Chains A and B, each alone.
Chain A
Amino acid sequence: MKKVPDWLNSSLWSSVASPSDRISPYDSKSTTAAAPHPATEPPAPVLPPSVVREEPPEPEPVSPSNDRGDDEKVRPERPSAEDISRQSLLLAELSKKVINIGELRRITSQGLPDGSGIRSAVWKLLLGYLPPDRGLWLSELAKKRLQYQNFKTELLMNPSEITRKMDKSTVSGNDEMKSTSGELSRSDLTGGEHPLSLGETSVWNKFFQETEIIEQIDRDVKRTHPDMHFFSGDSLDAKANQEALKTVLTIFAKLNPGIRYVQGMNEILAPLYYVFRNDPNEGYAASAEADSFFCFVELLSGFRDNFCKQLDNSVVGIRSTITRLSEMLKQHDEELWRHLEITTKVNPQFYAFRWITLLLTQEFNFADSLHIWDALLSDPEGPQETVLRVCCAMLILVRRRLLAGDFTSNLRLLQNYPSTNIAHLLYVANKLRSTP
């Protein structure tokens, strides 16, 4: 049985909010014969090149300042020196005429500072919505926003309006009710369209079929982040935001008949829209709906297959992805893998399905999930690959509890993952990159 790597046994991996059993030093309880290694780097660190990475200092590093947004505990703002230098690096990079995306990825992978409004621009760059050349930003944005506007006008017409437009091209006998009396003339249908049409290409038929999807979208949007004032509640802002989410998802569903809308897409869209809507630049914030539509499409394109039921059992489907997570865990921590999957029979599908398909938006508080998304979006391997490593890290971080637990307690733990230090989590995830 492969030994747990020594660096995993370090006391560094105890997180702030965890109960005592994780903080107790691993060393004395370690089953391995190796002497305890407090804070040394593992043999072959695969870090992005030229990173001057400081050691994660104490077991309780200061977390970057929290979003001054909505809910959650109000943590005192104590940006570390690291954060400040990172912020200045970012601002420097972003103010260049042509931004080096590789460099941006490198800096972002360590996390973006909250409250500085940088995230909105950075995410747009990382997702390829904004070109690296700043000079092209204005024209690109104008083009895309206009395109979205056209989508809305075209696709959100109801069949009455559509047939009326079709009518205008032919002469219509629009009888005014107040003119001469007599029998009203009957005219032929435009394009054979009538409301009860069951024809496949009928706009009416398509409309009624899509009504179901739109109702589903409406239900899901209303349930998105019910604890946040931004998304939920009776305020005008919340209602406007919900409308925006609904419209984006509806347009996506209409433009993609192959995949339509699947529950969970609302959770992928929510962080994008939130970040863009909170852009300090008012013009950008006003176009958050259009911008998040395109970024949503881009983000989803990497793992659409997860949402396609027919592909579930295929090589590209979600089941195969979950298997890869399992393999990854086995590779890095066979003891845990064995205990989890064989001994306590906790099938990864019970917990990892939601972790992976929703990109961890449901497992942490909103602010933390934004940090995780910084890492997911900036990693050159792409969000789908990176999330697997983060999931694996999540398992490893709670290994003591898992090893001590049975099916019920393990499942409960993994389906309600405890709040944890995200910087730690991402650090561990980074370590899990496949080494040659």
Chain B
Amino acid sequence: MVLVLALGDLHIPHRAADLPAKFKSMLVPGKIQHIICTGNLCIKEVRDYLRTLCPDLHVTQGEYDEDTRYPETKTLTIGQFKLGICHGHQVMPWGDLDSLAMLQRQLDVDILVTGHTHQFTAYKHEGGVVINPGSATGAHSSVTYDVNPSFVLMDIDGLRVVVYVYELIDGEVKVDKIDFKKSTAPPSH
């Protein structure tokens, strides 16, 4: 039972001042084992804050991040799953499933986490699953207006992943989930 927080596109301080208070009250240290951040924090104070929640933090480069030393992509293995991270502004057309699927095959991961569109999505294709946690602060993007703040918490338990989706809609936190299993045979490309 490993809890992995996935979030990104906070755009602090340029487009948002902070995470929503209701999110912050839920995100307490000691519960989460890993944090995956798609990028566009944008300042190091945000990185420091995330580190207080969990020391194992993985960040990829967003186009507005002030720190330019984050990698473009990153992969890590958690339990039975290989995860890949990429901000997504590099993948054209933005948010296009087929293009992202190509990236996923390149990285050879089961779950690809990307951002940039500020819109939560979760897709499945033969190569695996692509998840976009949206913008944790609800910052506007060039692609999407009217953004609801959202983030994702994955519970990786053996061959099963439960993806909990946290969204702030009209001031209330709504949570639902997506359940999927990985078959024991490796996915064919």
Contact = CB atoms under 8 A, between A and B. Distances in A.
A80 interface: no
B100 to A, nearest CB: 12
Contacts of A181: 97, 123-126
A177 B187 contact: yes
B157 A189 contact: no
A194 B122 contact: no
Counting contact residues on chain B (CB < 8 A from A), the size range is: 35 or more
Interface in A377-404: none
A408 interface: no
A172 B179 contact: yes
Contact of A177 (B26, B121, B163, B182): B182
A159 B26 CA distance: 17
A185 B160 CA distance: 16
Interface in B84-105: 97
B22 to A, nearest CB: 11
B143 interface: no
B1 interface: yes
Nearest to B131: A184
A231 B80 CA distance: 34
B180 interface: yes
Nearest to B182: A177
Contacts of B125: 181
B9 interface: no
B31 interface: yes
A173 B177 CA distance: 11
Contacts of B110: 177
Nearest to A198: B26
A54 interface: no
A21 interface: no
B121 A183 contact: yes
A178 interface: yes
A414 B121 CA distance: 68
Contacts of A208: 30-31
Contact of B183 (A158, A177, A189): A177
Contacts of B1: 158-161
B175 interface: yes
A194 B123 contact: no
A196 B128 CA distance: 26
Contact of B187 (A164, A174, A178, A183): A178
Given A175-B180, A189-B176, A196 B27 contact: yes
Contacts of A160: 1, 155, 157, 162
A187 interface: yes
Interface in A132-168: 158-161, 163-164, 167
Interface string B118-143: 00011111101100000000000000
Nearest to A186: B176
Given A172-B179, A174-B179, A177-B129, A186 B165 contact: yes
B175 A175 contact: no
B21 interface: no
A170 to B, nearest CB: 12
A184 B122 CA distance: 6
A48 interface: no
Contact of A186 (B26, B155, B157, B178): B178
B153 interface: yes
Contacts of B121: 183
A211 interface: yes
A163 B1 CA distance: 12
A175 B160 CA distance: 10
Contact of B129 (A161, A184, A194): A184
Interface string B145-189: 000000001010100101111100000000111111111000100
Contact of A178 (B30, B155, B183): B183
Nearest to B110: A177
B3 interface: yes
Given A160-B1, A174-B181, A208-B30, A195 B123 contact: no
A15 B91 CA distance: 85
Interface in B1-53: 1, 3, 25-27, 30-31
A234 interface: no
Contact of A195 (B97, B155, B179): B155
A183 B122 contact: yes
Nearest to B124: A184
A189 B175 contact: yes
A43 interface: no
A159 to B, nearest CB: 7
B1 to A, nearest CB: 4
B175 A194 contact: yes
Nearest to A180: B124
Interface of B: 1, 3, 25-27, 30-31, 97, 110, 121-126, 128-129, 153, 155, 157, 160, 162-166, 175-183, 187
Report the 5 A-B pairs with minimum CB-CB distance, sorted nearest first: A196-B26, A181-B125, A160-B157, A184-B122, A160-B1
Given A173-B179, A194-B166, A198-B26, 18 more contacts: A160-B1, A164-B157, A175-B178, A175-B179, A175-B181, A176-B180, A176-B181, A177-B124, A177-B128, A177-B182, A178-B183, A181-B125, A182-B124, A183-B123, A184-B129, A186-B177, A189-B175, A208-B30
11 contacts: A161-B1, A174-B180, A175-B179, A181-B123, A183-B124, A184-B122, A186-B176, A188-B176, A196-B31, A198-B25, A208-B30
